[in-house]
Structure 1
């Protein structure tokens, strides 16, 4: 039986919706999950419950501007700039039951999907967060937003105008609908997405500008995991038929920008779509791939702790960098 717990976490005045999926037996590993654009963590109940049944405790939160962290229409898509997004991830990870207490026996992993995958890479590559990143046992990326597919790639003019508008009217909202048939092959899930009012498809100009900048840095090879020993393990899964994010961009980034990670795996899901966690009956294979990869590394870590062997980790207190500047102020609470 899996125990589900809802709650909230206040980060610098913003109250964010949180939820955990916990095993009814011993915890073997802990996983923090970062969702994608126009998404929320309750969309992942199937895979989270599966992982919890294997002894992996899962923790997630609806990011600013998304899901149940939105209280009123004006807050839809109000994510803040990239500095805010990364600071929220760091604050969530720094909770006592995760990485805030030195010497925890259960290793912590971090996983991101789509836009959340791009955010996770950006977080892991940011030197401001290196002490915290070193404490993470491994990172997993599901169909990360590293590059647009050729048919979806916006023109340089549209990108430039979007960045300019984002600086002038950061909270101006735009609706960007993603075709449900490009997200999953499962017809029932397509209907569920269309009927889910929490998937509001609304972003702000500031949020879109941050997304474009992060994606551009990834696709241009500027965001790298090149410093050896910072990220210990990396797993990347991507469907080759993904029409929302581009498999080839992920492959190119993995081969050219993740060289500092000795333990790394790229798993290509031939013919699969964007949401690997709900892409029809075959999604069970994805569940098992994720669980096996985590448990293989968690097992070795736990055994070393049990034998009192030294496990490499940063034991120092981690200071979460503050978001400064008028344009980077944190929004009010949203739940």
Structure 2
């Protein structure tokens, strides 16, 4: 293992970790309380596929200094979250929605217990972006949210990473008719250069063995995150989007993991075909790759997110 240093060190040391039990899982969670005099709201971050909370530390410090708490939880099969029997496990559409219901309710109660305003926004990256956009349409607690924001959401995969129809049908067949294969693993077709153009982060990922082409996921979660994202472009689904709920999508136009054009299409479909739709915005970043918060234009992305939160809080 290389001794390459992580490219960013938190300036506050403000992180609080806690294990939270729900159903059959012990969820690893991390909270960064705001450090500014004024509390403006809380951001609940829903991470991406095989993500690592450490890459968001710079963003967390930035939001804390500007008045926002941040709450992050490792989804089933991710990070330090484990089933109560100690196994890693996996997730699917049912659990993604149900677990997010619980985490939203938990955070709203926590804010209430602290005497803070019940201002809770969702931020989803990549796979998490697809999850929160779906939640904005049919989530149980969507009416309690202040806003929904995303970076590089998985609506459709980019051409460079889209599996062939033959592979997709095999995966869907196995998940439907051969349930015992659902936890079988499949490898990604990604590479490190898709993540960011920042040479320091690229060097770090390589040194730690976090090369995305070495990552694997279960058949069931792979099927569900593809189908979940694709559903967002169907009229019978996106037409149910809350007309007033503020939604922001930030996406780099050089993203070779998730397709930037599909993010643009989702916002345009909402605004262009639903009477009375408002508070929806898409921002494209020229040259931006998949992980915008650790890419070369991260400061602009942070400021765009902050402006959006400040506008709707």
RMSD of aligned alpha carbons: 2.5
Query: Where does the alignment leave 5 or more consecutive residues of structure 2 unmatched?
Result: 1-11
- The count of residues paired between Structure 1 and Structure 2 equals 291
Post-superposition offset of 1:195: 3.8
| 1:141, distance to aligned residue in structure 2 (A) | 1.0
Q: 1:192 aligns with which of 182, 199, 204?
A: 204
TM-score (norm 1): 0.79
Q: Tell me which residue corresponds to 1:142.
A: 151
Helix, strand or coil: the match of 1:146? coil
Matched, 1:174 2:186: yes
Match of 1:283 in 2: 298
Deviations 1:40-93 (A, max 9, x none): 322211111110110110001111111122589x955x4322011111111011
CA distance in 1, matches of 2:90, 2:222: 9
- CA distance in 1: counterparts of 2:193 and 2:125, whole angstroms: 17
* 1:13 shift after superposition: 2.2
Cα 1:153/1:192, change in 2 over 3 Å: same
Cα distance, 1:85–1:266 mapped onto 2, change above 3 Å: same
Choose the corresponding residue for 1:86, options 72, 87, 97.
97
Confirm or deny: 8 A CA contact 1:79 1:85 kept in the other structure: no
Partner of 2:5: none
Q: Where does residue 255 of structure 1 map in the other structure?
A: 268
Q: 2:224 aligns with which of 176, 192, 210?
A: 210
Distance 2:111 2:34 in 1: 21
Confirm or deny: 8 A CA contact 2:161 2:190 kept in the other structure.
no
Query: Which residue pairs with 1:7 in the alignment?
Result: 18
Aligned partners of 2:305 and 2:145: how far apart in 1?
Answer: 16
Distance 1:225 1:41 in 2: 33
Alpha-carbon contact 2:20-2:26 (below 8 Å) kept: yes
Q: Report the CA distance between 1:119 and its aligned residue.
A: 0.8
- Between stretches 159-168 and 8-17, larger displacement belongs to 159-168
> What is the CA–CA distance in structure 2 between the aligned matches of 1:166 and 1:28, rounded to whole Å?
43
